[in-house]
Amino acid sequence: MDNITTRFEQCLRRHLRLVKPDSVDYAVELVQLGLDLMTAVAILLDMEKTFDIRFPGDMLVEGTFRTAGRLKGAVQLLRERQAS
């Protein structure tokens, strides 16, 4: 498991208590794991802090965090952009 996965999943667990402790289902909609508007804000802020990234305005939409997979993809993209 690479570093981003560990920290990404820790971040999710800090805010979504329904995320399983041993594995994260990257396809399930986060709403089903208890995500609401305020939790989404908290997760995005935590991701920004954890990975030293900043979500641009066009990524601050529901589609970015519909599933853990999408959110992780967004985080990776921003990290790559930042590195280049």
Binding positions for another protein, rule: CB under 8 A: 34, 36-41, 44-45, 48, 55, 57, 60-62
DSSP secondary structure code for residue 4 in this structure: H
Closest to another protein by CB, 21 or 57 = 57
Closest to another protein by CB, 5 or 49 = 49
Q: Of 71, 19, 16, nearest to 48 (Cα)?
A: 71
Closest to another protein by CB, 40 or 78 = 40
CB of 2 to another protein, least distance (A): 26
55: its two tokens? 């979500």
CB of 1 to another protein, least distance (A): 28
DSSP letters spanning 19-71: S-SS---SSSBGGGGT--HHHHHHHHHHHHHHHT----GGG-SGGGGSBHHHH
CB of 61 to another protein, least distance (A): 8
